[in-house]
Amino acid sequence: MLDIRDLTTSFGPVKALDGVTFTAPKGKITAVLGANGAGKTTLLRTVSGLIRPDRGSVHLDGQDLARMPAEKMPGLGLAHVPEGRGVITELTVEENLRLGGLGRADRSRPADFDRVYSIFPLLNDRRNAIAHVLSGGERQMLVIGRALMAEPKVLLLDEPSLGLAPRAVAQIFELVRGLAESEGLTVVLVEQNARSALSIADIGVVLNLGRLVAQDEATALAADEKLRHAYLGF
């Protein structure tokens, strides 16, 4: 469970996040929705330590992660898949995965490549390829696989559907759904495409100009016509 309280982040005089409070329950997918500039990416970057918040807390298993440096997060069970994918294109597929495994908390066992390769058999076929040659969908699989190598409790996913074909998006979403249900992974999913995000999420939170404006079951948000028109664009 990821418990976010009163999280506030500014860029100079502009408040990009203003007192955001919500809880992402364990084993569920929480969709973070809103227009461009609503603060969705800033929220993830603040939670994962890339940006320092002005105030607020982010609790994971009783530990406050707010104001911890980004490089500590994988060891504390939090993995962040950034927008624009973040594959290190100069390294091979396997090196990217190895790098993911180096950050995990429990280093007593060897890193579990087989688990990731069984989830993404395609990566196994291309393990020695330079990541540079992968397609957009394959890169998305690689970054999610790399995040899983750290055996996280919480997965932050930033716009996984960006630039992907609808079929690839459906595949990725189905996979995330499966990870949440079968392994109890807590997923925070940031999406521009609110309709498809709500179709796989359990709960949704809606941001507007850095403030939380709605928070409910995903099905309830999808049914709320006024909210959809005002903030979600469908």
Work out whether strand 29-33 and strand 203-208 pair parallel, antiparallel, or are unpaired.
Answer: parallel
Give start and end residues of each alpha helix (H) in the chain: 40-47, 73-76, 93-102, 113-119, 121-125, 136-149, 166-183, 194-200, 218-223, 225-227
Total of residues contacting another protein (CB under 8 A): 26
Nearer of residues 2 and 221 to another protein, judged by Cβ:
2
Closest CA to 155 of 28, 5, 14: 28
Nearer of residues 50 and 220 to another protein, judged by Cβ:
50
Footprint (CB under 8 A) of another protein, residues 155-214? none
Footprint (CB under 8 A) of another protein, residues 124-143? 132, 136
Q: What are phi and psi of 31, to 5 degrees?
A: -90, 130
Cβ 198 to another protein shortest distance, Å:
27
Footprint (CB under 8 A) of another protein, residues 13-52? 48, 50
Cβ 93 to another protein shortest distance, Å:
13
Footprint (CB under 8 A) of another protein, residues 45-104? 48, 50, 69-75, 80, 82, 86, 88-91, 95, 98-100, 102-103
Of the candidate residues 28, 40, 146, 228, the single one contacting another protein (CB under 8 A): 146
Q: What is the rounded distance in angstroms from the CA atom of residue 171 to the CA atom of residue 68?
A: 33
223 binds another protein (CB under 8 A): no
Residue whose structure tokens are 């084993």: 27
Torsional class of 110: left (φ above 0), alpha (ψ -120 to 50), beta (otherwise): beta
The β-bridge partners of 7 are: 20
Across 6-42, b (16+ Cβ under 10 Å) vs e yields ebbbeeeeebbbbebebbbeeebbbbbbbbeebbbbb
Nearer of residues 80 and 228 to another protein, judged by Cβ:
80
Cβ 164 to another protein shortest distance, Å:
12
Nearer of residues 190 and 218 to another protein, judged by Cβ:
190
Cβ 71 to another protein shortest distance, Å:
5
Nearer of residues 71 and 225 to another protein, judged by Cβ:
71
Closest CA to 40 of 197, 216, 223, 222: 197
Nearer of residues 30 and 96 to another protein, judged by Cβ:
96
- Chain residues that interact with another protein, rule: CB under 8 A: 48, 50, 69-75, 80, 82, 86, 88-91, 95, 98-100, 102-103, 132, 136, 146, 150
